[in-house]
Structure 1
């Protein structure tokens, strides 16, 4: 993305600057929704496992060890998939890999519905994880590379908010389908075939990254993609106060905002030595720490949530109903993060929501302990945990792609996600021993205090990340 001088010495804006200066258009909306639906389907698949676990614990008589393995094996696949997905996205393109991942985990989820044993189900869940893990960092990278600079963080958070839609869908399927019959969990997994169909939509309707096209010498395609967005109709967007006037159909000049570089990547460190080179290792270490801790706490809590509520004496249907209500709080959490990320900035928003997650996790453990559990306390503290935790996820996905230059952006975000998946593997396995450690009276408070501690470590690491609000992507 080099500058092209005009006759007389005037500088022609690069394609990246042209994209950064656009208002939010119908093409941005199309990209956001198209990627977001894939994101929601990913979340639905992950969420369905928690309800399937609770059903199989009763139907197949599975113990905590088998349930932990069933939950963790999918995250093993996600760790491998996240790493491979990022590498492939930097070599084959964002769109191609995005579509492939949807196809892989959609077909594997559908096949899981036919499993006749725990062993077969475990193998298929690993394959599902490969696709799921690769899809998330690739989708966020693609959207971040097209979003206008002044609202890029907000757009990525709205992409991440589709995760809540997927979890709500999973909770609805869990509540209405899974308990309906002995084969209810199988029908729930059949619904997981939908991503395979959506893969076709992604492959043929979404654009490839302009930055990737330029880096691989496909300049004509890059120019066509930019012009497609430039010719699209602007959509009213409720941006930050400093950008509202420009968001209503006026093309930005591309001039940097306060604190932003004048040229794309002018203040960005070199990618020549990779994500662990001297220029990038500090932000990589901090990002990996946040990813590890948030994965440990989130997946440890929400993967086991329906099963833990059943173990507290609630019926399967009532437990699933509580989880559905708790899940609904994810949407306002994303909305709050989407607004604050352009007001407070990425780092403070991420750290604040992680701190709120820590407090909420501790309150949930306290509310769930004892011989008499008050449902309203469980629901209220669970909703607070959903609100803060998913808001933190939104901020994390917004800041990740902004930390790296184009040449290693997919690799950097994918590697961080892959490292985080190690924690998501360990989290479900950690719950049974933590329950034993807490004893019959303090089992859940010990579990959720551990998750709260992980959130606090992540909040501290967030302050080590550079603030990227208003800066151009390199």
Structure 2
């Protein structure tokens, strides 16, 4: 941890502020997946309705990520992060008072705008605060916070459901979602806005670019190629991930008849693998570079999935294989924050990061659908293997079209950090 001792207090405060935000974001988001059986039993809703709430939340999250990127370019990184944390905390809390399916659908969708936006605002703030040679490590470590939040949601679920009756326990869990709002107090006192070429406060409202103008900026000829290729990486990364999470458990349970999928041990392995994968990627991307890291993890994901579906796998082997699969699938998103930050100029950086990451989240829905359609004419396992190969192959090809950005200094790196960099490059 020599690198951690090297960074400044301001960098450390931002690192832990973003880590806490993403962890609490993970708690609030994962709680819903844990209470789905309770909602089905309590309200008598169908699995399709429960799935609709989850799907609407994810789509809203992608839209929120794009909007937060534009907002961070317009009013500043810290303010945008504060807005998104307050937003998802408030609507998580209000979800506790939903009286029917329709109300919960609306409230969860509004919550999604906040949790999707929080990732984008935090990623840009962290990317512009941490010095270049440690940016990858910091981004990867903060990405692991989602895994800690996931584990926290499971622990909270176990505690609340052991003390409160199910018809009230799910409401208590959502009500607890208001707690992340207290993080805004820490942000206001401890996290500084990264230096900007022209601060929004100095521009004045009359001279501040409109949201539409900022959004149009990522399609300017000077960065259009970056936007297209970055969006393709986001599409492949999310497409492969959603295809796996949607179809692999179903395939292993219904066609391979494996029972370990529903056990706590399986969940513990997956969460641990995600956290460790983020740490491995954090260290590796600052060693070998962003492009090589993304390509390496994408290839490993495709190979591991195909081992799953084409080789005979029993309960024990499946449990063991779930670790590398979780590790490799975490490595790609743990790299994207640093990579996308380093590809864009300051004025449209938030918008570019938000678009590349969240375009993939929305359009990636085509990959699980494709598996289902292919499964009509071939075994579902074979369809999944091919689909994952296509998705992660897209990541590899797109990454090869991008420049290596490791060590690239962006214009907002603090002076005390910039003085320690070697052979600086500016965006």
1:107 and 2:90 correspond: yes
Q: Which moved more, 1:34-43 or 1:309-318?
A: 309-318
Q: 1:110 touches 1:189 (CA, 8 Å); kept in 2?
A: yes
Shift of 1:29: 1.3
Q: Which moved more, 1:208-217 or 1:141-150?
A: 208-217
Structure 1 portions without partners, runs of 5+:
1-21, 219-270
Question: Could you tell me which residue of structure 2 aligns to residue 120 of structure 1?
Answer: 103
1:282 and 2:265 correspond: no
Alpha-carbon spacing, 1:290–1:53, altered in 2? closer, same or farther (3 Å): farther
Question: Could you tell me which residue of structure 2 aligns to residue 14 of structure 1?
Answer: none
- Choose from 303, 309, 318 the match for 1:359: 303
Shift of 1:300: 4.7
Shift of 1:68: 2.9
Shift of 1:122: 1.3
- Choose from 75, 82, 96 the match for 2:58: 75
Shift of 1:412: 0.8
Question: Could you tell me which residue of structure 2 aligns to residue 49 of structure 1?
Answer: 32
- Choose from 428, 438, 445 the match for 2:375: 438
- Choose from 384, 400, 403 the match for 2:343: 403
Offset from partner CA, 1:255-306 (integer Å, 9 cap, x none): xxxxxxxxxxxxxxxx998222222111111110111222233245447888
Shift of 1:387: 0.3
Offset from partner CA, 1:95-140 (integer Å, 9 cap, x none): 1110111111112112223333322221111101110111111111
Which structure 2 residues correspond to residues 133-172 of structure 1 after superposition, within 5 A?
133-172=116-155
Shift of 1:62: 4.8
In structure 1, how many angstroms separate the alpha carbons of the residues matched to 2:152 and 2:382?
29
In structure 1, how many angstroms separate the alpha carbons of the residues matched to 2:41 and 2:381?
21
- Choose from 242, 248, 270 the match for 1:326: 270
When normalised by structure 1's length, the TM-score is: 0.73
Question: Could you tell me which residue of structure 1 aligns to residue 394 of structure 2?
Answer: 457
1:470 and 2:413 correspond: no
In structure 1, how many angstroms separate the alpha carbons of the residues matched to 2:363 and 2:310?
24
In structure 2, how many angstroms separate the alpha carbons of the residues matched to 1:380 and 1:177?
30
Question: Could you tell me which residue of structure 1 aligns to residue 209 of structure 2?
Answer: none
Q: 1:436 touches 1:443 (CA, 8 Å); kept in 2?
A: no
Offset from partner CA, 1:427-462 (integer Å, 9 cap, x none): 6xx46x845863799445644653453222222212
In structure 1, how many angstroms separate the alpha carbons of the residues matched to 2:155 and 2:109?
24
Question: Could you tell me which residue of structure 1 aligns to residue 334 of structure 2?
Answer: 394
Q: Which moved more, 1:410-419 or 1:271-280?
A: 271-280
More helix as a share of residues: 2
Alpha-carbon spacing, 1:59–1:161, altered in 2? closer, same or farther (3 Å): same
Offset from partner CA, 1:11-44 (integer Å, 9 cap, x none): xxxxxxxxxxx94123211110011110111222
Q: Secondary structure at the match of 2:144?
A: helix
Q: 1:86 touches 1:137 (CA, 8 Å); kept in 2?
A: yes
Alpha-carbon spacing, 1:272–1:74, altered in 2? closer, same or farther (3 Å): closer
Offset from partner CA, 1:61-83 (integer Å, 9 cap, x none): 65453233122101221122112
Q: Which moved more, 1:343-352 or 1:292-301?
A: 292-301
Alpha-carbon spacing, 1:87–1:128, altered in 2? closer, same or farther (3 Å): same
When normalised by structure 2's length, the TM-score is: 0.81
Q: 1:54 touches 1:307 (CA, 8 Å); kept in 2?
A: no
- Bigger radius of gyration, 1 or 2? 1
Alpha-carbon spacing, 1:325–1:414, altered in 2? closer, same or farther (3 Å): same
Q: Secondary structure at the match of 1:210?
A: coil
Q: Secondary structure at the match of 1:115?
A: coil
In structure 1, how many angstroms separate the alpha carbons of the residues matched to 2:268 and 2:96?
22
In structure 1, how many angstroms separate the alpha carbons of the residues matched to 2:247 and 2:187?
32
In structure 1, how many angstroms separate the alpha carbons of the residues matched to 2:359 and 2:397?
18
- Choose from 340, 345, 349 the match for 2:293: 349
Shift of 1:311: 6.8
In structure 1, how many angstroms separate the alpha carbons of the residues matched to 2:114 and 2:138?
23
Q: Which moved more, 1:148-157 or 1:401-410?
A: 148-157
- Choose from 142, 159, 166 the match for 1:182: 166
Alpha-carbon spacing, 1:61–1:307, altered in 2? closer, same or farther (3 Å): farther
Alpha-carbon spacing, 1:115–1:273, altered in 2? closer, same or farther (3 Å): closer
Q: 1:49 touches 1:303 (CA, 8 Å); kept in 2?
A: no
Shift of 1:345: 0.5
Alpha-carbon spacing, 1:425–1:115, altered in 2? closer, same or farther (3 Å): farther
Q: Secondary structure at the match of 2:81?
A: helix
Q: 2:22 touches 2:145 (CA, 8 Å); kept in 1?
A: yes
- Choose from 178, 194, 204 the match for 2:189: 204
In structure 2, how many angstroms separate the alpha carbons of the residues matched to 1:294 and 1:30?
30
1:419 and 2:419 correspond: no
Q: 1:361 touches 1:451 (CA, 8 Å); kept in 2?
A: yes
Alpha-carbon spacing, 1:357–1:113, altered in 2? closer, same or farther (3 Å): farther
